[in-house]
Amino acid sequence: MINKQEEKTLALQSSVCLCIDVETGFSRTQLDEIEKLLKYIKQMEGIIRTSPNKEQVERVKKEIQKHKDKLSSIVPGIKGNQTADDIRAALGFTTLSENEGPGAFIPAGADILAKFPVQKASPHSSDAEVNFVSTILTTIQKEYWPAISDLHCKMDFSHTAERDLLRTQLDNALRNLKVLAETIEEYSQAEKQDFRDQLLKMKNKQTRIFLYETNQILKKIRDFLRDLIQDIKNGGNPILNKNDAIHFNSRFEEATALEGVRVGDALIEFDMYATQAVERINLPELKINKP
C-alpha cells in the first residue's frame, strides 16, 4: 500500500519532476518561503496581463524569472513556462483566494521600485533625481493611492481623517511637480540670457522644494501605513475589509498593479514601495525656505 505522503510525492514528481526528500518533505521555513515566492510571482503575472507599458512588462518578466530561480533552489524542476497557479497545484497548495488574512506576500529584499520604470518629469527634464522622485509620486497617485481610497479600503474614523489629510499633502506635492515641470520646459525654450538666468534660479529653487516636500510626504505615508499594518498584526481592526480583493473600475481608475490583491496585502506593498523610495532618495533633514 502507498501511504498519502508517498502518493503526494509521486504526483509531484510526475507533474513537474520535483526532487524532494520523501522522508522529511519541506521544512516550515521552506514552506513559508515557497508561499511568499508564489504570491509574488502571481502578482507579477497580473501586471504582465494588464500593463500597456512594454518596458515595464519586460522588467517584470525578468523579475518573475529571478524569483522562479529562487523557487527552483527550494523546489528543483520548476519550468519557465509554469505559472504560479500551475506550481501551486502541483505542490498541492491552496489557491490564493483560499488563504485567510493579509500577509507579506512579497519576499524580503524584493525591489518594488523596479516594477515601475523611471519616467521623465517633463520632456526636457534631465535631472535624474527629479525624474526618479517624479516617477515615485505619479506612481503613488496612479497605482497605490487608489488601493487605499474609500472606494476600496474601509478605514475606521480616525484613520480616515488621517488619510484625508495625507491626500491633501500628496495633492500639494503633485502641484509642486506640475509647477516645476512647467519651469523646466520654459527654461529649455527660453532664448534671452537674462531670462534664462532668472528661470534657472526658479528651477533650482523649485527643485529643492519639490524634492524636500515630496520626501516629507513619503515619510508620512510610510509611517501611516506602518501604523495600520502594526495595528492589524496586534489584533486591531483599523481596516474593516482587509480581506476583500481590490477590483478597479477602468472607467475612472487607471490603476492595474494591485488588481485582485487583497486590501491588507496592498497596504504591505504600498508600505514597501514608500519605504524603498525614501531610502533611495536619502535626503537629509533640511528645512527649505520658500520664496
- Match 481596516 to its residue by C-alpha cell: 239
Angle at 226 between CA 223 and CA 227, to 5 degrees: 90
Question: Pick from 195, 186, 53, 210: which is nearest to 123 by CA?
Answer: 186
**Is the pLDDT assigned to residue 291 strictly greater than 50?**
no
Name the grid cell of 38.
508564489
For the ranges 92-96, 104-108, 262-266, the lowest mean pLDDT is seen at 104-108
As a whole-number percent, the residues of the chain with pLDDT over 70 amount to 80
- List the domain boundaries for the chain: 4-94, 114-281
Alpha carbon 9 to chain centroid distance? 35
Please state the pTM of the whole predicted model: 0.65
How do residues 137-151 score in pLDDT, each as one tens digit? Answer: 999 999 999 999 999
Question: How many alpha carbons fall within 13 Å on the CB side of residue 242?
Answer: 22
Instruction: Give the CA distances from residue 110 to residues 64, 220, 273, in Å, rounded to whole numbers and listed in that order.
Output: 11, 22, 10
Name the grid cell of 133.
522622485
Burial of 248 (0-12, 13-18, 19+ CB in 10 A): buried
**Is the pLDDT assigned to residue 14 strictly greater than 50?**
no
How do residues 145-202 score in pLDDT, each as one tens digit? Answer: 999 999 999 999 999 999 999 999 999 999 999 999 999 999 999 989 999 999 999 9
**Long-range contact pairs involving 214-218 (C-beta distance under 8 Å, separation at least 24):** 214/133, 214/136, 214/137, 214/173, 214/176, 214/177, 215/133, 215/278, 215/281, 215/283, 217/166, 217/169, 217/170, 217/172, 217/173, 218/136, 218/274, 218/277, 218/278, 218/281
Report the amino acid identity of residue 10: L
- Match 520646459 to its residue by C-alpha cell: 185
pLDDT value of residue 246:
92
